A and B are shown apart, each in its own frame.
Chain A
């Protein structure tokens, strides 16, 4: 049997021009009165994909999910599921199921009855319902809680019941609205991996809505970053993090340092940028920027090296400053370095050994440096 990892690694239908999208939002707009929740948005999701919609509250991610489930209809545009236009199909006839943020467990029914509810609606024979419910309870490890009512369960258990209920019907697509939002941090991390395993073993398409970038990065094959009802970028977690398409994406996912400047020179191997605060930046990832154009250079904190000694690579990708703030987090240490012009650069260093050979303290002189491959140039 192939391990889940190897399946995941080889799963890249979005790079295959022949692959047919399973779900397609085509120029979808949704307005509530004067408020535009979703603005002319197009998006495709492939079969068996674990897709995340990531954005701050009010970015339209939940509206997308609700339109797919059938609770809201698009004002304009259309949504296709397996080639079929979903317009006008009521929620109870759509082959998608949703796991609600509030879990929406039926308070007057037992765990068992909650899970069986959807199966009863499709007229499944009683014996078969029993088998399926037992299977679902086993899947979420709640066998001994079958006869309990929702209020007799802990938060984590309720979450599992909601999950079991929503996958019991084997929907083509499972929609998850902030599925882990109500759990505490530790439980959330465990559950993330369980959700991934579940998705792989059932072979379902998952679309998860979240505002938690870590959650999206952990679970999803691809992430769509939304802002004000528009898609900012759709890419794998690594691409989103390492090659953000815009300032917004770079700033939204993870921490980032931005340097504004202009392209001084440009050739095939990269660009030389003069930043407005006096740095000379050499980068290999210059995108489409041409000489003379104003750009933003973005670099992640962990890709910047801090040292008490001046690095050897002359005056390129180097700046001097002083240690302004230190946060020791155990696995790594975050340094805020204040440059001569007052610009504060965030850096983080992995604590690979227990005692640093180059200890830095508050107000120490320090040099920051980075390699030509460490950052990316974004259009301004």
Chain B
């Protein structure tokens, strides 16, 4: 492999990263702008962060978003895990193909359609739009993602582990909680995190299914931007980016360390 820094390589990397990160860098830089004008640099300042925390509308929206994401991710994880278990374990029941297709359809369904159909449903059953309806909608949206993540783990799960547990006297329910669940837990956790993130930044479905008093942060930001971008919004976005970035980096560092430790252990074991 040619690993030298040829002119072509450098150009590709610079262009690629610029394409990906330039908008974000701009946003972060201007969140520290002294000037109220978003596109004119007026010196460094953190005052917009201060005023952000004074902005009750944005803070309320953030709180709503956090609660919706927590609840919907948790419920979606339980349902998605159950769906994944059913799909991998009971491969012969009637309507399995239909069921698996239906579970995964929301993955490719245009969000506008999901949002609209949920709105029609909520109206039809007379459910007042608000916190509950956004949460339900997000469960619907994220459940299939959890199911996909957990299912892919279950496909490589060695069934003889469960058989061994039963052989040693553990009934099926005990076997699940003592063997299956701990082994697939990492996949369930990443499913949860995925669901949480999806819920956190959803705008389309929330717009359809939310009502007064349950405005999520993306909705709030979007509506404010339509009146003009303020540096406060930039600050809010920067914080969001920081939170997500820290979470992702922490997760991957922990994963990497675990992997390295595991590899070392295995090599040590082989040497005897």
Residues on A facing B (Cβ under 8 Å): 69-71, 90-93, 96-98, 100-102, 104, 106-108, 117-118, 121-122, 148-149, 151-154, 157, 165-166, 169
| Nearest CB in chain B: distance from A136 CB, A | 13
**One of A104, A151, A154 near B163 (C-beta < 8 A):** A104
> Does residue B161 face the partner (Cβ distance < 8 Å to A)?
yes
> Which A residues are CB-close (under 8 A) to B168?
92, 97, 117-118, 121, 165-166, 169
Instruction: Kindly supply a per-residue 1/0 record for chain B positions 151-176, scoring 1 wherever the CB is within 8 Å of any chain A CB and 0 otherwise.
Output: 00000001011011111111100100
| Nearest CB in chain B: distance from A213 CB, A | 25
Q: How far is the CA of A37 from the CA of B169 in the complex (A)?
A: 27
> Which A residues are CB-close (under 8 A) to B266?
151-152
> Does residue B96 face the partner (Cβ distance < 8 Å to A)?
no
Instruction: Kindly supply a per-residue 1/0 record for chain B positions 189-216, scoring 1 wherever the CB is within 8 Å of any chain A CB and 0 otherwise.
Output: 0000000000000000000000000000
> Does residue B268 face the partner (Cβ distance < 8 Å to A)?
yes
> Which A residues are CB-close (under 8 A) to B171?
90, 92
> Which A residues are CB-close (under 8 A) to B178?
117
**One of A100, A104, A118, A151 near B269 (C-beta < 8 A):** A151
Q: How far is the CA of A304 from the CA of B121 in the complex (A)?
A: 87
Given contacts A92-B167, A121-B169, 17 further A-B contacts (CB under 8 A): A70-B166, A90-B166, A96-B167, A98-B167, A100-B160, A100-B163, A100-B164, A102-B158, A104-B160, A104-B161, A106-B161, A106-B179, A118-B168, A151-B262, A152-B265, A166-B168, A169-B168
**Is the contact region of chain B dominated by helix, strand, or loop, or is it mixed?**
helix
> Which A residues are CB-close (under 8 A) to B167?
69-70, 91-92, 96-98, 166
Determine whether the beta carbon of B183 is less than 8 Å from that of A107.
yes
| Nearest CB in chain A: distance from B111 CB, A | 38
User: B163's closest neighbor in chain A, by CB?
Assistant: A71
> Which A residues are CB-close (under 8 A) to B183?
106-108
> Does residue B126 face the partner (Cβ distance < 8 Å to A)?
no
| Nearest CB in chain B: distance from A208 CB, A | 16
| Nearest CB in chain B: distance from A8 CB, A | 28
Instruction: Kindly supply a per-residue 1/0 record for chain B positions 260-272, scoring 1 wherever the CB is within 8 Å of any chain A CB and 0 otherwise.
Output: 0010011011101
> Which B residues are CB-close (under 8 A) to A165?
164, 168
User: B181's closest neighbor in chain A, by CB?
Assistant: A108
Q: How far is the CA of A245 from the CA of B145 in the complex (A)?
A: 59
Could you list some 23 contacts between A and B, CB below 8 A? A69-B163, A70-B166, A90-B166, A92-B167, A92-B169, A92-B170, A97-B167, A98-B163, A98-B164, A98-B167, A101-B160, A104-B164, A106-B179, A106-B183, A117-B168, A121-B170, A122-B169, A151-B265, A152-B265, A152-B266, A154-B270, A154-B272, A165-B168
> Does residue B182 face the partner (Cβ distance < 8 Å to A)?
yes
Determine whether the beta carbon of A91 is less than 8 Å from that of B262.
no
Q: A106-B179, A107-B183, A152-B269 are in contact. Are A117 and B166 (CB under 8 A)?
A: no
User: A118's closest neighbor in chain B, by CB?
Assistant: B168
| Nearest CB in chain B: distance from A156 CB, A | 9
| Nearest CB in chain A: distance from B172 CB, A | 8
| Nearest CB in chain B: distance from A183 CB, A | 13
User: B162's closest neighbor in chain A, by CB?
Assistant: A104
Instruction: Kindly supply a per-residue 1/0 record for chain B positions 90-114, scoring 1 wherever the CB is within 8 Å of any chain A CB and 0 otherwise.
Output: 0000000000000000000000000
Q: How far is the CA of A165 from the CA of B268 in the complex (A)?
A: 23
| Nearest CB in chain A: distance from B229 CB, A | 49
Determine whether the beta carbon of A102 is less than 8 Å from that of B160.
yes
Q: How far is the CA of A149 from the CA of B182 in the complex (A)?
A: 14
Determine whether the beta carbon of B166 is less than 8 Å from that of A92.
yes
| Nearest CB in chain B: distance from A96 CB, A | 8
| Nearest CB in chain B: distance from A79 CB, A | 16
| Nearest CB in chain A: distance from B145 CB, A | 25
Determine whether the beta carbon of B174 is less than 8 Å from that of A121.
yes
Q: A97-B168, A102-B158 are in contact. Are A157 and B163 (CB under 8 A)?
A: no
User: B270's closest neighbor in chain A, by CB?
Assistant: A154
Q: A98-B164, A107-B183, A151-B262 are in contact. Are A118 and B158 (CB under 8 A)?
A: no
Determine whether the beta carbon of B169 is less than 8 Å from that of A118.
yes
> Which B residues are CB-close (under 8 A) to A98?
163-164, 167
Name which of A118, A121, A157 has the most chain B CB atoms within 10 A of its CB. Answer: A121
> Which B residues are CB-close (under 8 A) to A104?
158, 160-161, 163-164
Q: How far is the CA of A239 from the CA of B66 in the complex (A)?
A: 75
| Nearest CB in chain A: distance from B262 CB, A | 6
Q: How far is the CA of A96 from the CA of B166 in the complex (A)?
A: 11
Q: How far is the CA of A69 from the CA of B167 in the complex (A)?
A: 7
Q: How far is the CA of A165 from the CA of B161 in the complex (A)?
A: 13
A-B residue pairs, 5 tightest by C-beta: A118-B168, A121-B169, A104-B164, A104-B160, A152-B265
Q: A71-B163, A90-B166, A117-B168 are in contact. Are A157 and B179 (CB under 8 A)?
A: no
Q: Which of B44-60 contact A (CB under 8 A)?
A: none
Q: How far is the CA of A211 from the CA of B160 in the complex (A)?
A: 20
| Nearest CB in chain A: distance from B101 CB, A | 24
Q: A107-B183, A118-B168 are in contact. Are A91 and B163 (CB under 8 A)?
A: yes
> Which B residues are CB-close (under 8 A) to A71?
163, 166
> Which B residues are CB-close (under 8 A) to A90?
166, 171
Q: How far is the CA of A108 from the CA of B262 in the complex (A)?
A: 12
**One of B158, B161, B169, B272 near A169 (C-beta < 8 A):** B169
User: A162's closest neighbor in chain B, by CB?
Assistant: B164
User: B168's closest neighbor in chain A, by CB?
Assistant: A118
> Which A residues are CB-close (under 8 A) to B270?
154
> Which B residues are CB-close (under 8 A) to A97?
167-168
Q: How far is the CA of A107 from the CA of B169 in the complex (A)?
A: 18
> Which B residues are CB-close (under 8 A) to A70?
166-167
User: A165's closest neighbor in chain B, by CB?
Assistant: B168
| Nearest CB in chain A: distance from B260 CB, A | 13
Determine whether the beta carbon of B182 is less than 8 Å from that of A108.
yes
> Which A residues are CB-close (under 8 A) to B268?
152
| Nearest CB in chain B: distance from A219 CB, A | 21
Determine whether the beta carbon of B272 is less than 8 Å from that of A91.
no
| Nearest CB in chain A: distance from B181 CB, A | 10
